[in-house]
Homo-oligomer: A and B are copies of this chain.
Amino acid sequence: MTTSEPGDAKRPTRRSSNPTVHDVALEAGVSPMTVSRVLSGGKNVRLEVQERVARAVETLGYHRNENARSLRPGHRSGLVGVTITNIANPYYAEMLRGVEEIASAHGRRILVGNSNEDADLEKQLVADFIGRRVEGLIVVPSSAGDAAHLQLERLGGVPVVLASRAVGGVSADTVLIDDVEGARTATAALLAEGHRRVAYLGQRSVFTGRRRLEGFTVAHEALELTPDEELIRVGQQDVGSAERAMTELLDLADPPTAVFSANNRNTVGAIRAIVARRRATAGTGAGGGGDDIRVAGFDSFDFADIAPVRLSIVDHDAGDLGRRAAAMLFDRLDGGAQPVEPRVLELPVTLRDLF
């Protein structure tokens, strides 16, 4: 044993490291336990002693070690894990803010990870979060790969809320937006105006994309129409590829007269293509394609209301999505007795004409 200091103190007064209750106790001339008591409200401690301790805390710049604290039985970590497929996406950023707002109100902090649509990465994140003893998880599930790691049993009983997307085979609390209805309404509006060649710009591999394509199809079927496969373009992830896809559509022998776009990246790309075409054919009197194309799209964006096309937007509040998901989680965490079976919430959307 033998660090064997001459004046051997049990604790060799470490300057560099963080001060502990012990250090504060020394400084205040009391026992660690008294410090602990003061820190948790000061019940049963003389006022004078409380002040002495408070002063010591101040002098030493003491911060109670939450990690050590959460080690005690019964104590919770105060942490919630959030994994998002792309933090930089303004939509999810707003969702994240909603989550943070509610978590904060419930005295929790959020650990945030970016899964980049990669199920393996997501799995690692979740495992790490559980290792840090998060009390719950909010997950925007990645579209690619297996999702077995989200099974409740695999999570060691940590409750999870799926946001924005559901996952096949995983039964958990889920908050979605009404993708099908939004897409259906928007498409129906285009068809009602008489358009019969309506293009679809979006995804098919992502959950929301599938649902929005379904709404697009359903709207057609309600009028006993069948969407032309040639007009369905999927897989564009960014504005650039969306613009190219739209340009291709405009170049068709029988181009669309309207387009429904399943997300704002595609909407912006489509409008760019339309504007570019309009400029190109400006003086020619050709009128070839770009003019008076009607657009409807999911999700708003900065300039939606002064876009130079006739535009309708399927609106919904990402912040609300985050708040609802968080509320659902804390309902399980803090609420009393909960129903065991998972709940699915589908948030409504509204169609807004911007012309």
Provide the residues of chain B in CB contact with A264, threshold 8 Å.
Answer: 302
Q: How large is the interface on A (under 10, 10 to 19, 20 to 34, 35 or more residues)?
A: 35 or more
* A204 smallest CB distance to B (angstroms): 24
A157 CA / B16 CA spacing, docked (Å): 8
B88 touches A97 (CB 8 A): yes
Contacting pair B71 A100 (CB below 8 A): no
Q: Counting CB contacts under 8 A, is A130 at the interface?
A: yes
Q: Are B275 and A306 in contact (CB under 8 A)?
A: yes
Taking a contact as CB atoms under 8 Å apart, the answer to whether A132 and B66 are in contact is yes
- How many chain copies? 2
Whether B111 and A97, one on each chain, are in contact in the complex, defined by CB atoms closer than 8 angstroms, is no
Residues of the B chain whose Cβ atoms lie less than 8 Å from the Cβ of A156: 18-19, 61, 63
Residues of B within 8 A of A301 (CB): 302-303
Distance of A268 Cα from B65 Cα, bound (Å): 46
Please report which residues of chain A, range 257-295, place their CB below 8 angstroms from some CB of chain B when the two chains form the complex.
264, 268, 271-272, 275
Q: Given A113-B109, A268-B303, A306-B308 in contact, is the A153-B93 Cβ separation under 8 Å?
A: no
Chain B proximity mask over A61-92: 1 for CB below 8 Å, otherwise 0: 10111111011010001000000001111101
Contact of A112 among B61, B86, B112, B153 (CB under 8 A): B112
- 1/0 contact string of A82-120 vs chain B (CB within 8 Å): 000011111011101100110010000111111000000
Task: Answer whether residue A225 sits at the interface, using C-beta atoms and an 8 A cutoff.
Answer: no
Q: Would you give the shortest CB distance from A25 to chain B, in whole angstroms?
A: 18
A41 within 8 A of B: no
Q: Is the CB of A154 closer than 8 A to any CB of chain B?
A: yes
Q: Are A131 and B63 in contact (CB under 8 A)?
A: yes
Which residues of A line the B interface, CB within 8 A? 16-19, 61, 63-68, 70-71, 73, 77, 86-90, 92-94, 96-97, 100-101, 104, 109-114, 127-133, 153-154, 156-157, 264, 268, 271-272, 275, 301-303, 305-308, 319
